[in-house]
Amino acid sequence: MTDLYIIFITVIAILILLFLVIHTKLHAFVALLLVSIFVGVISGMPLNDVILSVQVGMGSILGYVAVIVGLGAMFGQMLEASGGAQKLAHHLILRLGEDKAPIALGITGFLVAIPVFFDIGFIILVPLIYGLAKKTGRSLLYYGIPLLAGLAVTHSFMPPTPGPPIAVAKLLGAEIGWVILFGLLAGIPSMLIAGPLFGKFISKKIHIDIPEYIDFNEVEHNDTNLPPISVIAIIILSPIFLIVLNTLSSLLLTKDTFYYNLFQFIGHPFIALLFATLLAFYFLGHRHGYSKKEVQIIANKALEPAGIIILVTGAGGVFKEVLIDSGAGTILANFLGNFSISPFLLGFIIAVIVRISQGSATIAMITSASIVSSLIHKVEYSPPELGLIVIAIASGATIFSHVNDSGFWLINRYFGMDIKETFLSWTIMETIIALVGFTMVLCMELLFI
């Protein structure tokens, strides 16, 4: 088969994937599996090899991602159930003052989304937005956009959030510590510009009051029923600290020494998240008054949304494996190499196309990572380079949320906006995050590569 034929098959496969997800509404897990098998069969792979590629691709990803996403989801569910997220927000607003509430809310969103899914974090914190808007008479967007920016940035840029960054890092073989470092460096300016700065601007253009159909009764905050802020901070930040310690040990310590092996072990994402989850079970669960059975129920509930991410990620691993085994990845890499397209730009562009086409940032990130990883699997990229490719893909997958994205309608309903107002606020906020994030990737490429 000619190289041109293989490239043609791969392009058709991507178009079929978008068609299945967008028009037939077929679940992304099933769609990715079908497209992967299609590429394998049509490219001429023996049928038994196609099945083997499916098994290897699924197993190699799930053995890593399932553990991390599952633990992270339980950790986040415990934070939500205990009221820890609300406590963190109130504490930051109190310390910074109400005049700096947008910055406090941006930081809150950034931290809360480390263990909590984006939509859950928004829903449990939106009453705080209502309360501040009612008290000050300001537009909901003045407080809401900063919170949303913080949640959105971490959801896409910052492992160990139980979402796509972990999946993309695994597909590309990137070290989590580098992804965290670059996620912080790209995410903080993205959050500040798209959050407090843009929120202040757009709230002067669009005044949004609490929607009449929202049943909101302001409740006085009671700290005595919530965990201590020090406990919440330690639980949220402990896995990040341990994972970064793992990465630093690789740079600073001699391999196979006692402390190197120790830090590599305790800083592995499995151990770091297991430690944080056990802390959450005890301090936010048992010490907070929950029975052992109630803690178990909370943990089980957390695995429902996690299961979807795990399966879609596994199917992304299958797509990657089939592209490699069929030779499509190598052929595409050689073809694109003639145009000197950097993997950063390529990952960003593919993620943008998939994101705008079908709406889901998770599917955009996993699809883009599957394709890019198949193109670069024979090239020796350094850990910092792989970490930056993750952030480039995350930036592209965040851009231009519109009517095919469930997040668009979540914000539309909770803020009571019309379509135009949602575009002018939420959609532009997401696009700012994407463009600032990718700009930071290009700047960091000059500094670290």
> 227 by DSSP, 3-state: which?
coil
Instruction: Report the range out of 79-83, 287-291, 417-421 with the highest average pLDDT.
Output: 417-421
Which residues contact residue 88 at a Cβ distance below 8 angstroms, ignoring those fewer than 6 apart? 108, 111, 112, 229, 232, 233, 236
Percent of residues, the chain, with pLDDT higher than 90: 72
pLDDT at 203 over 80: yes
- What's the CA gap between 171 and 369, in Å, rounded? 6
Residue 298's pLDDT band, with cuts at 50, 70 and 90, is very high
pLDDT tens digits along 120-149: 999 999 999 999 999 999 999 999 999 999
Cis omega before residue 383 (within 30°)?
no
pLDDT at 107 over 90: yes
pLDDT at 214 over 90: no
In this structure, the number of other CB atoms found within 10 A of the CB of residue 253 comes to 16
pLDDT at 337 over 60: yes
pLDDT at 241: 95
pLDDT tens digits along 244-277: 999 999 999 999 999 999 999 999 999 999 999 9
- What's the CA gap between 42 and 48, in Å, rounded? 14
Report whether 117 contacts 160 (CB < 8 A): no
Tell me what the mean pLDDT of segment 61-84 comes to: 90
Select the more confidently predicted residue: 378 or 419. Answer: 419
pTM: 0.93
Joined together, the tokens standing for residue 410 give: 């979540």
- What's the CA gap between 300 and 352, in Å, rounded? 34
- What's the CA gap between 121 and 118, in Å, rounded? 5
From the list 296, 305, 306, the residue with the least C-alpha distance to 78 is 296
pLDDT at 393 over 60: yes
- What's the distance, CA 117 to chain centroid? 9
pLDDT at 225: 61
Percent of residues, the chain, with pLDDT higher than 70: 98
Tell me the average pLDDT of the chain. Answer: 91
In this structure, the number of other CB atoms found within 10 A of the CB of residue 23 comes to 9
pLDDT at 1: 57
pLDDT at 179: 96
Tell me what the mean pLDDT of segment 179-204 comes to: 97
CA-only gyration radius of the chain, Å? 22
- What's the CA gap between 23 and 415, in Å, rounded? 28
Joined together, the tokens standing for residue 333 give: 């890499």
Specify the range with the lowest mean pLDDT, choosing from 25-39, 319-333, 429-443.
319-333
Report whether 50 contacts 41 (CB < 8 A): yes
pLDDT at 410: 94
pLDDT at 223 over 90: no
Residue located via tokens 């601007």 = 201
Q: How buried is residue 140: exposed, middle or buried, by Cβ count under 10 Å (0-12/13-18/19+)? A: buried
Residue 297's pLDDT band, with cuts at 50, 70 and 90, is very high
